[in-house]
Structure 1
Amino acid sequence: MVKVATISGYKPFELGVFGQNHPAVPYIKKAICNSLQVMLDEGLEWVLISGQLGTELWAAEVVYDLRAGEYSDLKLAVTTPFLDQEVSWSEPNKEWYESVLLEADFIDSVTHKPYEKPWQFRLKNKFLVEKSDALLLFYDTEKEGSPKFLYDTARNYKEKYDYDIRLIQFDDLQTLVEEEHWE
């Protein structure tokens, strides 16, 4: 049973997605939504993200859409790796992030201090895995990127504990595009 799921994946620049109006965004969100609906049928109650740009904020928007419908009890926790992670982001990205935080049910930081060193990201990955029953990761092992670190943390954790890892891969997005084309 999946009560808490961590969702993460690629950042926009890793996908060549610059802006919320990029044609790939609705397909990414649809893939997240489809996966979340399966988990909701399995008892999902909480979605956990770290507030990264890209997959995580798109996932938050999907959670809010689902919440506005038949899944009004679904909750979102944003646990950042450190304080003020958005300090160097562009204004539009800061506004996007703030809009997600406004509706979150829980907000905290793993380390209660500003960015110091990469260990804070490693600690965040460990926290996200240990505090969830499953990882839904937009990651394709054929295209390495920042999600690899969380994926490796989850795989190592899975060797010792019952932990569910579910991937959204580029083939899944291609299937959604083709399905829409045929409709």
Structure 2
Amino acid sequence: MNKLVARQRLVMTFTFFSMFFGAGNLIFPPFVGAQAGSATIPAAIGFIVSAVGLPILGVLAVTFAGGFDKLASRVSPKFALFPGVAIMLTIGPCFAIPRTATTSFEMMVAPFVPSSYGWLAQLIYSLVFFTLAFLFAQHPEKLSKVLGRFMGPLLLVLIAVLFIACLIHGIGTPANPMGDYSTNQIARGFLDGYQTMDLL
């Protein structure tokens, strides 16, 4: 097995980060903080376990097994097909793919479009979004370089700017936990972390 030099490890780290960082990672952490209020720390612990810890363990398990098919075929070769197809459908057309277009539309376009034309704007946006995604997906070797060298560092910078802005302009006293986070904050955080679908 070839050892990676420091620069290659850094690019791979940024590539993994930008691959895992999706719509759910953008939506759920602020939601957890807003709902959990003064109980944000236990909620964040639960969230981090399922949104960060378990996906890392999943990557390690698949890597050490030599691939997902080899890992799942330890149960049986026929079994390996079922979870593979189910996971691909879940992180593909059933949930994650529509969520990527919807989240970016809601954040970038929806505030500037009259509500009466919202459906048309979303349709046009989705067509353009998925056309560009399809074109980029035709060259996966270039995509991994772009993710690792440019998108990963850019995401980290934008997250840092957002975090600092929230610290400077945030509320002084955290509110009491509300909604689903009124009780059992660790468990609720764990469930919302799972909803990022990074483990899948």
What TM-score, normalized to structure 2?
0.25
Structure with the largest fraction of helix: 2
Higher strand share: 1
Q: Name the larger-Rg structure.
A: 2
- Greater length-normalized contact order (CA 8 Å, ≥ 6 residues apart): 2
